[in-house]
Structure 1
Amino acid sequence: MPFTLVLPDGIQYVGLAFVSTIWLQIGQAVLVMSARKTAGIAYPRLYAEKAEEEASFLARKFNCTQRAHQNTLEQLPAIYTATVLSALKYPVFAASALGLWVIGRILYTSGYMTGEPQKRNTRGGFIGSLCTFALTCTGTYSIISLALAAA
């Protein structure tokens, strides 16, 4: 029995939004490498030790930059899943929300890498959380409605 996959109109925008997350990760990785070099934190250590951070603001900035990047990586599985599920019925919304999430992550990172962790939430943290929530709700609705329609 042949299988036909029909993609909804607007799915190309979801692809563009996914590509923007790759550029986000590349940008964050470059920022981490730069902060690592400036602070003098050798590989393979993930973070500066507490004593190093207390002795050097550059080490603190490195830790904050590294944490912003790591936090983005931690969120990707959930945001990708919610985006794909949302895109099944609402691809333009899914693409827009993921694109806005990326903008939020850029702002979050720029705030966090100042070395003052509380600035992560004043510069984009809320945007990312709102997009994650919206995509999770939309993805849940999309998959439930598709499942019910198939039943």
Structure 2
Amino acid sequence: MVYEMSVPDQYGFVILACGVLPLFTNVYMSGSVMKARDSFDVKYPNLYGVPGVHKYADDFNRVQRGHQNYFEHLTHFTVISLIGGLKHPLTCAASGVLFCLGSVLYQKGYSDTSLKVETARYEKGGVVKWIGYFAALGSCVSMAGSIQQWW
């Protein structure tokens, strides 16, 4: 069976929020890592600071880890939001903004050495990332359910 669909009028918002905005989010978050490299004297090719080698290894690693976490979820987020946006474009566009904003807040919290490492990533609003992520996931599941013939 062939399933035909059209792209909704608001899909351009999905492309901007879930395809373009993450690029700018990455550039912003990368800037934080580069600044931390200079501040904490962690030179390339080290991806992370090495305890015992770098004086402020843990401080740098918190900044780097916040950025790395973004990459760990970005691919899945992009796929589910672009698919879910075919049925729920405004929801997925909003989820893209929330995911990017929440990722920046996650990194800011995780980087704050005055906070306990176990909870720091959520103390400055990092949970917003997951609201966007799960909204996109729900939209993607809804899209799958609307095109799948179950019997």
Partner of 1:61: 59
Counterparts in 2 of 1:1-151, with a 5 A limit? 6-17=6-17, 18-52=19-53, 55-56=55-56, 59-115=57-113, 116=115, 117=117, 118-148=119-149
User: Would you say the 8 A contact 1:104–1:123 is kept in 2?
Assistant: no
Give TM-score, length-normalised by structure 1.
0.86
Asked if 2 retains the 8 angstrom alpha-carbon contact of 1:107 and 1:123, the reply is: yes
Distance, in Å, in 2 between the alignment partners of 1:40 and 1:51 is 13
> Does the 8 Å contact 2:104/2:126 carry over to 1?
no
Q: Extract unaligned runs of 5+ from structure 1.
A: none
Q: Distance in 1 between matches of 2:38 and 2:71?
A: 21
Listed one character per residue, the Cα deviations across residues 52-105 of structure 1 (whole Å, up to 9, x for unaligned) are 46x43xx32211111111110110111111101211101111001111111111
Q: So what's the TM-score if we normalise by structure 2?
A: 0.86
Q: CA RMSD in A?
A: 2.0
In 2, Cα distance between the equivalents of 1:148 and 1:119?
44
**Counterparts of 1:109 and 1:52, CA distance in 2:** 24
Residue by residue over 1:14-59, the C-alpha shift from the partner in whole angstroms, topping out at 9 and shown as x without a partner, is 1220211111100111110110111111101111112246x43xx3
Q: Which has more helix, going by share of residues? A: 1
Which segments of structure 1 move beyond 4 Å, counting only runs of 4 or more? none
Please report how far the alpha carbon of residue 5 of structure 1 lies from its aligned counterpart in structure 2 after TM superposition. 7.3
Q: 1:126 to 1:47 in 2, by over 3 A?
A: same
Identity over the aligned pairs, expressed in percent?
A: 28
Aligned AA (1:95): A
Aligned-partner Cα distance in 1 for 2:73–2:32 = 19
Which deviations, in whole Å up to 9, do the C-alpha atoms of 1:114-135 show, x marking residues without a partner?
2343321112222112221221
Partner SS, residue 51 of structure 1? coil
